[in-house]
């Protein structure tokens, strides 16, 4: 059984690095690269060998209603592949980027803890276990945002920590109320007992969980920590936070709780639609006026999260397909954009768009990959962003909500406008910029890999391949309560 | 019933402290009050009328006991709160080195 | 009397006697974790408080001569690795991760209930070292007045 290895391998790597690394960080780099590539191989293998079945693993061999279970189905394997892919490219990028700050093994140990926490959130089948792993990964994230020792990073990390603690308290109150009405903590048992709960209590519980996990997903009333935290962090950490952390802790937890456990009540699907559309519009309007490159990218993260919430809130299989596909694509192109911003900052020493220009001749690989990522996020064919946004818009029209389709189109046009601004001022301007640093071969390798995957993942919508990769994931979500209750039959 | 109302009053006091205080250390203490009051709520949910503590020792008869599961949840949650408070205090010390003040209305270099 | 670091003479004398009693009490709570309330976390905090008592009463220089800080750091990391190794043994011998593969023993004795006792001891060691090292590192920032990490 290979399910618990997804948590054991990063935890072992984190503490072996802490034990054997001296003052230099060579052993730390080697161990973390081995651990993340091993995780990528394991997750691809586990996705390929199980298609529509659900595997259950009982921890400490205690029988099902009494112990903690680990559940693996198609949605789990899909998320695991995404996490291990982005973390492998992030380790590649950060080898020479972090050496400019300090040669320290603590960065790699904290990074492994972050990966272990995220893997734990994905594979668990128990409510309080999910809360514990959310807290582990958030602790590592607070420390990693403040890693560069500059004043803005400490301020951003403090804001993130205080708001994250308040939202975790809300989630804990939700868990307390759920336990008092259902007297169990396993997902499958809760979904059975939840039908006997009266209507007011369902509203309370749903509202508490939506507020708590919505802050971690950066939906619009709860977004205030994201621009500071994602723009002040070092570039590989920004790509991990914006690329996978807000999706795993926010959107994946919302999918598991609202679709599989609470049986998707209509009131909350309408709330998803409203939050998603407001996030789309406000995110893009706030992003156009920014002159700092990473702050602009951080505001765009809020806007793209709105697309995913809109796709999920429609409730139809086509809408959920669009939402899940956009989740995967956004991880790829947003990480690539943050790597480009980090490379620009290493070469030119500044992130302000008014001071950059004519980088197209100096760093050709960064410029070409940034053009690919900008076309992806704006939705231009044949890149992958076009297909996922098209599916969401068609699903909105088919479900009888043409207003939301119109809002999605406006958001896409404004996204295109702001990225043309980045390309015009950042890469093809007229000023001459003096070079203050160099780009390593590992940074180039990470950026080229993600750019090639941006093109290749648009093949996932072709009808022959869609049956293998995306349809099992959608059927787990659409199956709502029955796909998590199938584990009780063992 | 009145015990639950007092517990909610404690949660609101903690939330008031996080929102309105201007000093960094007072915000950290208010987060502590908020966390501990939620633990109190969890323990109150586990109470059963006329039952004993859930520990078996030699020569004791088995009678009805209170629910032991939320007590394990509270132990885990206390450890998590300890870790978060340690990170927040370390950040507060480094913020004082850089900005020379503990007042959050003057720590505002990031805006827009 | 000339005092250099730390607190007054009364505090130092009482600490010299009572620190060993506090350490003994912490070990008692860890070892009886499967019979009475407490267990790994509570006992570990008490042991960390005993070491912090020495640091507060005598000052940082004396404590860094008395304890080997590098050794504490290595012990902390290796206790987590041993915890995961015990779990993997459970996977190899019984069925699942962290399976209870030792002999369960008789009820209410000290050496009973399988792997719960070794796991409690490992958690107690880890918590004690972590709490002491966190306060040790945080109190170093004020004295050096520069860019300490």
Distance CA A250, CA A220 (A): 13
b/e code A92-129 from CB counts within 10 Å (16+ = b): bbbbbbbeeeeebbbbbbbbbbbbbbbbbbbbbbbbbb
Read off the pTM.
0.94
Domain count for chain B, please give it: 1
Which helix (DSSP H) or strand (DSSP E) does residue A40 occupy?
helix A26-49
Answer whether residue B105 is part of any domain. Answer: no
Distance CA A25, CA C73 (A): 17
Distance CA A362, CA B28 (A): 47
Answer whether residue B104 is part of any domain. Answer: no
Beta strands A55-58 and A69-72 are antiparallel
- Nearest chain C residue to B53 by CA distance is C37
- The pLDDT of C71-96, averaged and rounded, is 89
Q: Which of A310, A322, A311, A298 is nearest to A243 (CA)?
A: A298
Count Cβ atoms below 10 Å from residue A153 Cβ, excluding itself: 25
- pLDDT, tens digit (0-9, with 9 covering 90-100), for A186-218: 888 888 888 888 888 899 999 999 999 999 988
> What's chain B look like in SS3?
CHHHHHHHHHHHHHHHHHHHCCEHHHHHHHHHHHHHHHHHHHHHHCCCCCCECCCCCCCCCCCCECCCHHHHHHHHHHHHHHHHHHHHHHHHHHHHHHHCCCECCCCCCCCC
Answer whether residue B111 is part of any domain. Answer: no
C98 in contact with A, Cβ within 8 Å: yes
Distance CA A173, CA A183 (A): 15
Burial class (CB in 10 A: 0-12, 13-18, 19+), C3: exposed
Distance CA A303, CA A160 (A): 19
Q: Give the CATH number, domain containing residue B74.
A: 1.10.287.3510
Cα torsion B43, B48, B51, B55: sign:
negative
C130 within 8 A of C76, measured Cβ to Cβ: yes
Distance CA A457, CA B93 (A): 46
- pLDDT, tens digit (0-9, with 9 covering 90-100), for C105-147: 777 888 888 888 999 999 999 999 999 999 999 888 765 444 4
Residue range(s) defining the domain that contains residue B16: 2-54+65-99
CB contact under 8 A, C95 and A61: yes
Answer whether residue B37 is part of any domain. Answer: yes
Q: Residue C145 has what pLDDT?
A: 47
A104 in contact with C, Cβ within 8 Å: yes
Cα torsion A349, A351, A354, A358: sign:
positive
Neighbouring chains to A with at least 3 Cβ pairs closer than 8 Å: B, C
Structure tokens at A84: 């291990």
**Do you find a cis peptide bond into A382, omega within 30 degrees of 0?**
yes
Q: Residues near A467 by Cβ (< 8 Å), separated by ≥ 6?
A: none
C141 in contact with B, Cβ within 8 Å: yes
Alpha-carbon separation of residue A447 from A237, A350, A377, A440, A463 (angstroms): 15, 20, 16, 11, 29
Answer whether residue B30 is part of any domain. Answer: yes
Q: Residue C142 has what pLDDT?
A: 62
Distance CA C34, CA B9 (A): 36
Q: Nearest by CB to B75, from C41, C138, C142: name it.
A: C41
CB contact under 8 A, B55 and C138: no
Q: Which chain C residues in 115-134 lie under 8 Å from chain B, judged by CB atoms?
A: 134
Alpha-carbon separation of residue A128 from A131, A203, A226, B72 (angstroms): 5, 20, 26, 11
Structure tokens at A402: 């043409």
C77 in contact with A, Cβ within 8 Å: yes
Instruction: For chain A, list residues with pLDDT below 70.
Output: 489-490
Answer whether residue B110 is part of any domain. Answer: no
ipTM of the complex: 0.94
DSSP three-state, residue C102: coil
Q: Residue A252 has what pLDDT?
A: 93
The DSSP result for A211-252, as a single string, is HHHHHHHT-GGG-TTHHHHHHHS-HHHHHHIIIIIHIIIIII
Q: Residue B10 has what pLDDT?
A: 94
- Nearest chain C residue to A4 by CA distance is C97
Answer whether residue B60 is part of any domain. Answer: no
Distance CA A14, CA A8 (A): 10
Answer whether residue B112 is part of any domain. Answer: no
């Amino acid at each position: 059984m290979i399910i618990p290895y997804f948590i054991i391998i990063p935890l072992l790597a984190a503490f072996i690095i802490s034990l054997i690394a001296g003052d230099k960080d060579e052993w730390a780099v080697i161990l973390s690269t081995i651990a993340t590539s091993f995780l990528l191989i394991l997750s691809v293998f586990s996705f390929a060998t199980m298609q529509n079945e659900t595997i259950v693993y009982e921890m400490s061999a205690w029988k099902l209603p009494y112990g903690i279970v680990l559940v693996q189905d198609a949605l789990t394997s899909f998320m695991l592949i995404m996490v291990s892919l982005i973390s492998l490219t992030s380790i590649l990028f950060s080898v020479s980027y972090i050496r400019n700050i300090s040669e320290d093994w603590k960065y790699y140990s904290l990074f492994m803890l972050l990966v272990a926490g995220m893997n734990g959130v994905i594979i668990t089948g128990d409510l309080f276990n999910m809360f514990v792993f959310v807290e582990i990964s958030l602790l590592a994230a607070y420390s990693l945002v403040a890693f560069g020792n500059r004043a803005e990073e400490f301020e951003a990390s403090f804001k993130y920590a205080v708001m994250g603690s308040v939202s975790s308290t809300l989630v804990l109150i939700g868990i307390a109320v759920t336990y008092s009405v259902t007297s169990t903590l396993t997902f499958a048992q809760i979904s059975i007992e939840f039908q006997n709960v009266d209507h007011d209590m369902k509203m309370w519980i749903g509202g508490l969980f939506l507020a708590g996990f919505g802050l971690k997903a950066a939906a619009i009333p709860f977004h205030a920590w994201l621009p500071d935290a994602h723009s002040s962090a070092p570039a590989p950490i920004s790509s991990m936070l914006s690329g996978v952390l807000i999706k795993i802790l926010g959107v994946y937890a919302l999918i598991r709780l609202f679709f599989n456990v609470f049986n998707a009540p209509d009131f909350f699907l309408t709330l998803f639609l409203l939050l998603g559309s407001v996030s789309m519009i406000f995110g893009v309007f706030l992003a156009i006026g920014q002159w700092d490159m990473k702050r602009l990218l951080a505001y765009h993260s809020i806007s793209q999260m709105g697309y995913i919430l809109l796709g999920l809130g429609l409730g139809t299989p086509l809408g959920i397909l669009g939402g899940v596909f956009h989740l995967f694509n956004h991880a790829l192109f947003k990480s690539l954009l943050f790597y480009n911003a980090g490379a620009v900052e290493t070469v030119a020493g500044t992130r302000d768009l008014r001071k950059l220009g004519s980088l197209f001749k100096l760093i050709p690989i960064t410029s070409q990959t940034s053009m690919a990522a900008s076309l992806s996020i704006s939705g231009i064919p044949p890149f992958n962003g076009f297909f996922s946004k098209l599916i969401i818009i068609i699903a909105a029209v088919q479900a009888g909500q043409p207003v939301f389709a119109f809002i999605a189109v406006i958001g896409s046009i404004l996204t295109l406008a702001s990225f043309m601004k980045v390309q015009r001022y950042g890469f093809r301007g007229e000023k001459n910029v003096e070079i203050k640093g160099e780009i390593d071969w590992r940074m180039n390798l990470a950026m080229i890999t993600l750019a090639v995957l941006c093109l290749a993942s648009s093949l996932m919508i072709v009808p022959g391949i869609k049956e293998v990769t995306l349809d099992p994931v959608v059927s787990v979500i659409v199956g709502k309560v029955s796909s998590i209750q199938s584990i009780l039959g063992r | 019933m009145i015990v639950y109302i007092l517990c909610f009053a404690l949660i609101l006091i903690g939330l008031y402290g996080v929102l309105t205080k201007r000093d960094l250390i007072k915000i950290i203490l208010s987060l502590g009050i908020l966390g501990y009051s939620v633990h109190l709520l969890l323990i109150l949910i586990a109470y059963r009328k006329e039952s004993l503590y859930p520990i078996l020792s030699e020569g004791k008869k088995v009678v009805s006991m209170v629910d032991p599961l939320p007590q394990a949840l509270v132990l885990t949650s206390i450890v998590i709160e300890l870790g978060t408070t340690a990170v927040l205090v370390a950040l507060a010390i480094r913020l004082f080195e850089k900005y020379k003040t503990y007042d959050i209305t003057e720590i505002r270099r990031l805006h827009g | 009397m000339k005092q250099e670091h730390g607190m007054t003479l009364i505090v130092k004398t009482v600490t010299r006697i009572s620190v060993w009693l506090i350490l003994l009490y912490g070990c008692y709570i860890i070892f009886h974790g499967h019979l009475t309330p407490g267990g790994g976390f509570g006992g570990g905090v008490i042991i960390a408080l005993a070491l912090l008592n020495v640091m507060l009463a005598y000052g940082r220089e004396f404590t860094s001569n008395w304890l080997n800080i590098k050794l504490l750091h290595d012990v902390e990391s290796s206790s987590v690795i041993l915890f995961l190794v015990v779990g993997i043994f459970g996977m190899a011998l019984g069925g699942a991760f962290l399976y209870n593969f030792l002999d369960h023993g008789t009820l209410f004795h000290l050496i009973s209930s399988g792997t719960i006792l070794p796991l409690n001891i490992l958690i107690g060691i880890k918590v004690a070292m972590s709490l002491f090292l966190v306060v040790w590192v945080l109190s170093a920032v004020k004295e050096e007045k520069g860019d300490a990490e």
